[in-house]
Amino acid sequence: MEIPAELGRVLVIVPTYNERDNIERLVGRVREAVPSVDVLVVDDNSPDGTGKVADAMAAADEQINVLHRTAKNGLGAAYIAGFRWALDRGYDVMVEMDADGSHQPEELPRLLDALTDADLVIGARWVPGGRVRNWPLRREVLSRGANTYARLMLGVPLHDSTGGYRAFRAATLEKIGLDDVDSRGYVFQIDLALRALREGLRVVEVPITFVERTHGASKMNRDIMVEAMWRITQWGARERLGKLRRPR
CATH code, domain with 53: 3.90.550.10
Q: Is residue 30 part of a domain?
A: yes
Q: Is residue 42 part of a domain?
A: yes
Task: Please say if the pLDDT value at position 28 is more than 70.
Answer: yes
> pLDDT value at position 242?
54
More confident residue, 202 or 72: 202
| Sequence-separated (6 or more) residues with CB below 8 Å from residue 229 | 146, 149
pLDDT confidence of 181, banded at 50, 70, 90?
Answer: confident
pLDDT digits (tens, 9 = 90+) for 99-112: 999 999 999 999 99
Q: Residue-wise over 63-90: b if at least 16 C-beta within 10 A, else e?
A: ebbbbebeebebbbbbbbbbbebbbeee
DSSP 70-112: SS---HHHHHHHHHHHHHHTT-SEEEE--TTS-S-GGGHHHHH
Report the domain count for the chain.
1
Q: Is residue 184 part of a domain?
A: yes
Q: Is residue 1 part of a domain?
A: no
User: Among candidates 207, 203, 205, which has minimal Cα distance to 176?
Assistant: 203
Domain enclosing residue 203, as ranges = 7-245
Q: Is residue 2 part of a domain?
A: no
